[in-house]
Structure 1
């Protein structure tokens, strides 16, 4: 038999892929719409370099979580989640929790896992950085917070899928499992735009930071630009509100206050359209 005529190897879905499989099946329920904008990251780079000089190494994703969390405080109706069913329900959460994604390895296979930063609108940059480093640097089978995921991956597919949907169907539990917004990045690769699949009302996709020519005050300048996308659940909010949120995140990142070097607890930003 010629190699081209050989039958493919049919195997059970690897355990490392099962959590993603359950997530994607459940994500069909969400009705996503996508927006994007370009952000001048000069101010973030300045803050990052200044903190580095004082001994604090902060990743870009932490600055993004800080900015998004601050903005969501201004738009509490977006800190919500919708449950599909005969009688649809909606939860509006009083606390903000950031879900971030990262690559891990299990049984020699790469897979995507997520960590949760509770009260991300109140946690200092250094605290968020330590949490991300914990998830990043610890082996997947040693992370306590992944214990339930490991159990889910070990179950028969039909049972794991049922349990996943049951857990996500509880709106209170959903926030603990998925956060109240998600940020996911491919910025470590030369990917300019990333439009993620959502599991809550707001999900931000982060592209690479690249030096690009931009026009400023009629002059061409080279700036570190980054594409930030927003996928939002149209069942929960409308496009106008989503556009306001993305615009406000851009504003916070590009015009961060000098007094906000190490904490999200500084003065509030002003919502889009409000008088200053």
Structure 2
């Protein structure tokens, strides 16, 4: 069968290709769990009554900052240059949590992925996180100063673009300001239940859609809004036990979320949602 060469990769996607070439050295392992989003959805509904809109991913970012502050070993990355016969393996841990949030944007009529950075998540309030998310989701987001480097990579010839990307990686101190310390991606706006990706950091979090699913509460089957949450970890940096602790921490934080009094939003009425849903759903299991 005859075939013809396809179109060249769009300039807007070249930074993605350079990143994937670099991230190929990771050793990804995938975990996932289901999160009962009853409390989060109740908080969102209470906020909307007050005229405030919170995105689901903002709750995940809020929980991520706190969880990685409690598990600093996972707020890390493998140092540049490994593997190499001349270098000893070295893990870089970061003192602050910066999320790299993947955004699906249209730039000059071409669909592309932009990575927005949200620093200081260990202390950021939900309202502060939402303001940053809204800024990056604006119509002119691709023209923000933060994405100047991405625009430059698209304009450079491929050899120079690849070299420029590699040069950034050589300075460990610049890593949080370029790639973040944890990667977060969501496809919850589509018909995707769950997925996994590797974002170049020790931990990458992937959120699917929220869907009513049957859960068991007080011996009765009831519908509840459930989100599948995937966690990919770089096995060079952390082991499975640490990754499992992080994922469990995230699930507990989101299932128990009740931060209305500190976010300027009255606390939601969680009566009827305040069962011990974690135990009832069989998620509190002994280690095997």
**SS at structure 2 position matched to 1:220:** strand
Structure-2 separation of matches of 1:179 and 1:27: 14
Deviation at 1:187, TM superposition (A): 0.6
Where do 5+ consecutive residues of structure 2 fail to align? Answer: 265-283
Structure-2 separation of matches of 1:114 and 1:175: 12
Structure-2 separation of matches of 1:211 and 1:202: 27
Q: Deviations over 1:103-155 (max 9, x none)?
A: 11223210111101110121221221111111111425421110111111111
Structure-2 separation of matches of 1:165 and 1:194: 28
Is 2:45 the partner of 1:49?
A: yes
Where do 5+ consecutive residues of structure 1 fail to align? Answer: 264-271
Match of 1:8 among 4, 7, 26: 4
Q: State how 1:137-216 maps to structure 2 within 5 Å.
A: 137-216=138-217
Structure-2 separation of matches of 1:185 and 1:23: 19
For the Cα contact (< 8 Å) 1:201–1:233, is it kept in 2?
yes
Deviation at 1:235, TM superposition (A): 1.0
After superposition, the Cα gap between the structure-2 partners of 1:170 and 1:89, relative to the gap in structure 1 and judged at 3 Å, is farther
Q: Deviations over 1:208-251 (max 9, x none)?
A: 00001112222101000110000011111110010011001100
Match of 1:38 among 34, 37, 58: 34
**SS at structure 1 position matched to 2:204:** strand
Bigger shift: 113-122 or 124-133? Answer: 124-133
Q: Structure 1 length as normaliser, TM-score?
A: 0.89
Q: Structure 2 length as normaliser, TM-score?
A: 0.85
For the Cα contact (< 8 Å) 2:105–2:142, is it kept in 1?
no
Q: State how 1:129-144 maps to structure 2 within 5 Å.
A: 129-144=130-145
Q: Deviations over 1:13-64 (max 9, x none)?
A: 2101101101110111111111000000001011111122222211010011
After superposition, the Cα gap between the structure-2 partners of 1:261 and 1:41, relative to the gap in structure 1 and judged at 3 Å, is farther
For 2:122, the equivalent position in structure 1 comes to: 121
For the Cα contact (< 8 Å) 1:51–1:261, is it kept in 2?
no
Is 2:18 the partner of 1:17?
A: no
For 1:268, the equivalent position in structure 2 comes to: none
Aligned residues: 260
For 2:268, the equivalent position in structure 1 comes to: none
For the Cα contact (< 8 Å) 1:193–1:207, is it kept in 2?
yes
Q: Deviations over 1:162-192 (max 9, x none)?
A: 2212212322211111111111011100101
Structure-2 separation of matches of 1:141 and 1:237: 34
Structure-2 separation of matches of 1:179 and 1:229: 18
Q: State how 1:22-101 maps to structure 2 within 5 Å.
A: 22-83=18-79, 84=82, 85=84, 86-101=87-102
Structure-2 separation of matches of 1:144 and 1:209: 33
For 2:280, the equivalent position in structure 1 comes to: none
